[in-house]
Each structure stands twice: as structure tokens, then as C-alpha cells.
Chains A and B, each alone.
Chain A
Amino acid sequence: MAVTVSVPTILRTHTGGEKSVEASGANVAELIEDLESRHSGIKSRLVTDGSLHRFVNVYVNDEDVRFAGGLEAAVNDGDNVTILPAVAGGVR
């Protein structure tokens, strides 16, 4: 079960500079566990208190998983997963 994961610049310190890594899992949560086992420290940048961190967007193929079940979103062999930093802010 290989899934290609695109890693943003800010997280490449965890992947030895690689912008794309392989991982496996049946859903986003499993995928992140698998990533963590190979790239220590990456999980805490993506997940807080059992849900996806608000500072990141995770996409399975073209779909933002926030609108597709979050960490429970299904991942299939051959999918492309993209992680991007959320770009946001506010006056406070």
C-alpha cells in the first residue's frame, strides 16, 4: 500500500529535505502514524488532541480531508496526499 506524500518546505526538516515521501495506511490517521515511524516528529506538526492541526491542510488527491472525514478519510493505494501549510490570519 504505497501512497505518495508531498511534504511542504516547513516539514522537510523531518524528511531529510525530501519533498515527496512514500507512506502507507488505510486512512489519514494510519498514514500519519506510518510517516511518524519513518520521519520522527512529523506527527506532532500535523495532529493535536486527536484531530488535524488547524495550521495545516491535508489533501487526498484533490480533496481537502477536512471536508471528507478528517483523520478518518480513506486513503487508497496509488493516491497522492499533499500537505500544505494553511495560510490564514486575523486581527487578534
Chain B
Amino acid sequence: MLWIRRDLVDAMVEHARRDHPDEACGVIAGPMGTDRPERFVEMVNAERSPTFYRFDSAEQLKVWREMDAADEEPVVIYHSHTATEAYPSRTDISYASEPGAHYVLLSTRDPESDELRSYRIADGEVTEEPVEVVEHYMFSHTGADDIPDSP
């Protein structure tokens, strides 16, 4: 199950629509071990292609270092398909190397309707999971999170 704030979903959809017909990609970082996506990071698709994406390696190093310094991890890794369904391709599966991440796929093939699905990918196995879109996260067990993240 992916629990995710609506503003983060909207940001992914907006990015995918804006980069269409090229594939869009990025990550949503969250505090280590919480499984809670919080910090939206739009990445450059170094391929600038409608059929392929690759994080720019220099940008990826910078973003991964920032996450490391902030004790964060990539909770969501997202990209868009522009002419096919939001399901991981064989290439997507072969590259998937974060077994703890939620791989979010968006499809922009239909200009009228948004398609967003989430998967776990580990050892070449794809498992689709439900996506629960929430207005804000509520965690009563830690002080700082008693305050909702978004108004």
C-alpha cells in the first residue's frame, strides 16, 4: 500500500503532463524507515525521449547526497509512459534496484484522464499495490507530525 498526499500526486501528474510527449521522472524522498513520501524532487530525463528515461547521473548524485545528509531515502521513484499503460516494462523491471521503494507509473496516453499506479519491484518480480491518496499524514506517535503537513 502506498499512502501519499494529494499535493504530491498532483505534482507528479503535472510534471508528466508538462513533459509529454517525453517521459518524465523523479523521486519523492521521505525520512528513513518511515515509508512516508514527503519531499518532491523532479528529475531531468537525460534521454529526453518518449520511450526511455534515465536520471541524469550528475543530478542523481547530488540528490542522493542530499537525501543521505538529511537521513532520507527514495520512498517513491516515478516515471511516465506516454503512449502505453502505467505498467512496468521489461526494461523498467531490469533497472529496478530499490526493493524498498514504491515504483509509481503514470500514463499520459489519454489527455482527459490521469492514470497512476504503484508497484513494488524486487528480484524481477512486480507486485501492484493499492494507492491511498490522503489530504495529509496523521501520525500521533511522534510530536512533529501531530501537525498536519498541508492545510
By a beta-carbon cutoff of 8 Å, the part of chain A in contact with chain B is 8-10, 55, 57, 59, 62, 64, 66, 82, 84-92
CA distance A67 to B95 in the complex (A): 20
The answer to whether B25 has its CB under 8 Å from any CB of chain A is yes
* Residues of A contacting B77 in the complex (Cβ-Cβ under 8 angstroms): 87
Q: B92 and A9: CB pair below 8 A?
A: no
Q: A10 and B83: CB pair below 8 A?
A: no
A59 contact from B61, B90, B94, Cβ within 8 A = B61
* Residues of B contacting A82 in the complex (Cβ-Cβ under 8 angstroms): 61, 64
* Residues of B contacting A59 in the complex (Cβ-Cβ under 8 angstroms): 57, 61
Q: A89 and B52: CB pair below 8 A?
A: yes
Interface-lining segment among B7-15, B96-104, B124-132, B142-150: B96-104
Within 8 A of A (CB), among B21-73: 25, 27, 43, 47, 49, 51-55, 57-58, 60-61, 64, 73
B95 contact from A62, A64, A89, Cβ within 8 A = A89
CA distance A84 to B98 in the complex (A): 11
Knowing A90-B51, A90-B52, A90-B89 touch, does A55 contact B100 (C-beta < 8 A)?
A: no
Most buried by B among A8, A10, A55, A90: A90
CB closest residue in chain B, given A89? B92
Q: B91 and A62: CB pair below 8 A?
A: no
Q: B61 and A57: CB pair below 8 A?
A: yes
B57 contact from A8, A64, A89, A91, Cβ within 8 A = A64
Distance in Å from the Cβ of A67 to the closest Cβ of chain B? 8
* Residues of A contacting B91 in the complex (Cβ-Cβ under 8 angstroms): 88-92
CB closest residue in chain B, given A65? B57
CB closest residue in chain A, given B93? A89
A10 contact from B51, B64, B97, Cβ within 8 A = B97
The answer to whether B81 has its CB under 8 Å from any CB of chain A is yes
Knowing A55-B94, A57-B61, A82-B61 touch, does A89 contact B99 (C-beta < 8 A)?
A: no
